[in-house]
Amino acid sequence: MFHRLGHFVVRRAWWVIAAWVVAMIAIAVSAPKITAQTDEAAFLPKHYESIQAAQLQEKAFPANFTPSALALFERNDGAPLTAADKAAVAKIVQGLTDKKIEHVEQIVPVSDQTTSKDGKYALAPIAIDKTTQNSEKFGEVAKSVREEGKKLAEGTDLKYQLGGQAAQQLDQQESSGAADAVIGISSVVLVAIIVGLIFRSVLAGLLPVLLSLMIAMPTANGLIAYATKAFDLKSTPVLSAILIVVVLGVGTDYFLFLAFRYRERLRAGDTRQEAVVNAVARVGEAIASAAGAVTVAFAVLILSSLGMFKALGPALAIAVVVTAFASLTLAPAVLTVIPARGVFWPGKKWMHEPSDARFAALGRVVEKKPALVAVASGGVLLALTAGALGYNGTFDLAGSSMPKTAESMVVQDKLVNGFSAGAADPTHVYLTVDGGAKLDQGAFGGYAAKLAAVPGVAEAPATPQLSKDGATADFTVLLKNEPSSNDAIDTVTELRKVAHAEAPSGTEAKVGGITAIYKDINLAMSHDYKLVFPIAGLLILLILALQLRSVVAPWYLMASVGLGFTATLGSSTLLFQNIKGEHGMMFMLPILIYLFVVAIGTDYNILIIARLREEARAGRSPREAAREAVRHGGPTVAAAGFILAVSFATFMLAGNIFMLEFGFGMAFGIALAAFVMAMFFTPALTALVGKAAWWPGHGGDATGGHGEAVPAAGAHSAHGLPESAGRR
């Protein structure tokens, strides 16, 4: 199949290139525009209690609103607000109201309830039209409110700052744009330099960058936009930055898989066209299988309870499919039309087979002492795994995805310091009765007392707000801890139990608010861990079994990448929680590490195991096959792993804690996958298992299961073509 694909591409190389360029332009130009979603509640299904509580609030208290933005006032010198300052605040609020900024529905004047106890801070809650919340207008409105407020505050002793959800979206957009630029530029420069050094060539260093970012990336982005709109998926702000690295990193990996084999075939005496055909024939299956493993791992996220992952998974799956298809068609076409000397210019030794002394030596170690190598490499993974036991998740997505110096984050910190930690985002307990009846107000005092007695609750008023029909009451509960903290989430867990159990007869209680949303995200993540992880693992296992025609090797391959996941999570936990002192890491990190490390780590295992099978089918013993696989496949895995790890490491330059954690986790996980699992653990285990690794297939005999002798890699017929090429 892949031999025929190689022939097709070589014969119609210019047509293939033209088709890709035309398709890219058509898709990119016609694709719909998609806006990233920053509202955590929008990522949860409607059956979760926090979402039901929000719907109840909209129905029973339509005049109430959760502020979309918060205008914070304080004196420039930090002293308490004076009477003159309060008058100036009132004037600024009125001035903002008179501006009639589009989509601003209400600006609530400052009152005693929205002034801090020490008198240093005053808040003016702002309502913004909810229909703008899922569009760029939400942030644009915040920008207008921020700029107009600062103009009105000029000439006073006041400092005016804007926080809240809309301001966070604005700051996140600006931060993401800067982060994307840093990540993109750093990745491009590093990939071009590293690949260029590997091949000692300028053009070889530029090719994966040009093919990935100029062709595959716009095509993938366009198809993702179409899919997002067609299936009503959500979009997350982290997608754009992750896409850059996934397309560039995976595209570079697959280019290296192809280019190393292309150069190997040229050294074996093939013409340029023959070398391209045979390179596609030999690594095409490995690239397709590797891409398949990554794709299914990402695509399984469509089963997630969280809209964030429902969007992220299919988007990344589309990107990987496009990149893999480009690697199997566009990249070979480009190698066909460019003379080999041009591809590897100005290098002069590309036609000479290097000694590969380092990898040959590593291969001999694996051949002679496979048990020791397996125990040592497996021991490293197990030791790092121990750190995962201390993992603790946090839920402040906005705060973790932008610098602490962003204005909305500064406002958030001041709210925590100036007011009750939970005052900025109170928790709401809604008590309701059906059937047209009214609530018994005489029971409110006792019920509120039960709520106030919950550990972690700072205040629960005995007189709640009643709906017009008297059927719903809103108990506004202030928590002692910051709303996104684990302590606050634990409080809401207990608060729900009490609210449900102590609800007066005939009534029903629902607990809502941002902390309740975080609690439900936690529940959704637990659901996803139990569903997404096993399904992704089983699908990757099936792909490995089909590719290797074996039911033995896939199991220990999956065990190795599973250890890679736990070792990566453990090392990240040790670094950020135990050494850096963070109280936790972002809640989504484990599932992202699992998907990237397991899926992409499988890429390197597939490349090595494919070479192992190739060497075994050539008649070598299991230990000899392991030696040759490390010798010949090691340089490719090392180069690909190093480049992808460095690409992910660029996330650490983004300037926020989530990208720092994500970048380290991905980079370290990819490094483990390449330099521990694929280079040592997998070939050593395969050498120990022996020919049984290929059961019930025939990977371990010299006939390949077809009754014909399969020559060693590099063997040629009288016509200069590998004898096995036509059969692959």
pLDDT attached to residue 718 = 31
What's residue 235's pLDDT?
66
Q: Does 173 have pLDDT greater than 60?
A: yes
225, burial (CB in 10 Å: exposed 0-12, middle 13-18, buried 19+): buried
Q: Are residues 368 and 460 in the same domain?
A: no
At residue 712, the pLDDT reads 43
Same domain for 124 and 188?
Answer: no
Is the pLDDT confidence value at 361 over 50?
A: yes
Boundary residue ending a domain (459, 478, 512): 512
Last residue of a domain, one of 466, 484, 512: 512
pLDDT band at 219 (very low <50, low <70, confident <90, very high): very high
Q: Is the peptide bond before 622 cis (omega within 30 degrees of 0)?
A: no
Predicted pLDDT at 724: 36
Q: How confident is the model at residue 580 (pLDDT cuts 50, 70, 90)?
A: confident
CB 664 within 8 A of CB 705: no
What gap in Å lies between CA 124 and CA 103, rounded to an integer? Answer: 17
Task: Answer yes or no: is pLDDT of 224 > 70.
Answer: yes
Q: Are residues 527 and 618 in the same domain?
A: yes
pLDDT tens string 451-481:
999 999 988 888 888 998 899 999 999 888 8
Residues contacting residue 566 through CB under 8 Å, at least 6 positions apart: 381, 384, 385, 388
Give the domain-ending residue among 163, 189, 211: 163
Do 476 and 531 share a domain, yes or no?
Answer: no
According to the model, what pLDDT value does residue 39 have?
Answer: 54
Residue 292 sits in the same domain as residue 309:
yes
In a domain, 382, yes or no: yes
Separation of CA 174 from chain center: 19
pLDDT at 43 over 70: no
Containing H/E element for 442? none
Q: Answer for the pair 570, 388: CB distance below 8 angstroms, yes or no.
A: yes
Mean pLDDT, residues 197-215: 89
Query: What whole-number distance in Å separates Cα of residue 503 and Cα of residue 510?
Result: 10
pLDDT of residue 353: 65
Each residue of 308-350: pLDDT tens digit?
777 788 888 999 999 999 999 999 999 999 998 888 888 777 6
Residue 685 in this model has a pLDDT that exceeds 90: yes
d(CA 360, CA 723): 25
Same domain assignment for residues 608 and 471? no
Q: What are phi and psi of 339, to 5 degrees?
A: -55, 145
Considering the domain boundaries, does residue 52 fall inside one? no
Looking at residue 711, its pLDDT comes to 40
Indicate the DSSP class of residue 490: H
pLDDT reported for residue 8: 94
Note the pLDDT of residue 424: 64
714 with 599, same domain? yes
Looking at the fold, whether 294 and 259 belong to one and the same domain comes out as yes
**pLDDT for the residue numbered 710:** 38
Residue 405 vs residue 218, higher pLDDT: 218
Question: Mind listing the pLDDT tens digit for each residue in 510-528?
Answer: 999 889 988 998 888 888 8
pLDDT at 354: 63
Q: How many CB atoms lie within 10 A of CB 96?
A: 22
Nearest to 640 by CA among 609, 610, 675: 675
Statement to judge: residues 226 and 274 lie in one domain: yes
Domain contains 125: yes
**pLDDT of residue 576 exceeding 50:** yes
84/81 Cα distance (integer angstroms): 8
Q: What is the pLDDT of residues 370-420, one digit of tens each?
A: 999 999 999 999 999 999 988 888 876 666 667 778 888 888 888 777 776
Task: Answer yes or no: do 355 and 439 share one domain.
Answer: no
Residues 362 and 493 in one domain: no
What would the pLDDT profile of 691-725 be if each residue is shown by its tens digit? Answer: 898 888 755 554 443 333 334 444 443 333 333 33
Q: How far apart are CA 207 and CA 191, in angstroms?
A: 10
pLDDT confidence of residue 342: 87
pLDDT of residue 356: 58
Q: What are phi and psi of 204, to 5 degrees?
A: -60, -35
The Cα 90–Cα 39 span in angstroms is: 30
Token pair of 173 as six digits: 């957009």
Q: Alpha-carbon distance 326 to 323, whole Å?
A: 5
With tokens 């990566």, the residue in question is 568
Q: Is residue 58 part of a domain?
A: no
Domain with 454 in it: what CATH number? Answer: 3.30.70.1320
- Is the residue at 39 inside a domain? no
Name the domain count of the chain: 3
Window from 1-15, 501-515, 520-534 with minimum mean pLDDT: 520-534
**Residue 609, token pair as written in the block:** 């195991």
Domain range holding 463? 426-512
Mean pLDDT, range 723-728, rounded to an integer: 34
Please give the average per-residue pLDDT across 11-39, as a whole number. Answer: 86
Rounded Cα distance between 71 and 114, Å, is 11
In a domain, 45, yes or no: no
Residue 62 CA to residue 320 CA, distance in Å, equals 45
Using DSSP, state whether 546 is helix, strand or coil. Answer: helix
- CATH code for position 373: 1.20.1640.10
Distance CA 511, CA 171 (A): 29
Average pLDDT over residues 164-177: 78
Q: Exposed e or buried b for every residue in 8-20, given b needs 16+ CB within 10 A?
A: bbbeebeebbeeb
Confidence of residue 605 (pLDDT cuts 50, 70, 90): confident
Is residue 407 situated within a structural domain? no
Question: What mean pLDDT is reported for the chain?
Answer: 84
Please state the rounded mean pLDDT for residues 263-268: 87
- Percent of all residues in the chain with a pLDDT value above 70, rounded to a whole number: 89
pLDDT of residue 591: 83
Task: Please check whether residue 410 lies inside any domain of the structure.
Answer: no
CA distance 216 to 212: 5
Range among 218-222, 345-349, 407-411, 586-590 with highest mean pLDDT value: 218-222
C-alpha radius of gyration, the chain, whole number? 30
| CA distance linking residue 511 with residue 499, whole number of Å | 8
pLDDT number for residue 250? 86
Q: What is the mean pLDDT of residues 556-576?
A: 91
**pLDDT tier at 636 (50, 70, 90 boundaries)?**
confident
If asked whether residues 230 and 321 sit together in one domain, one would say yes
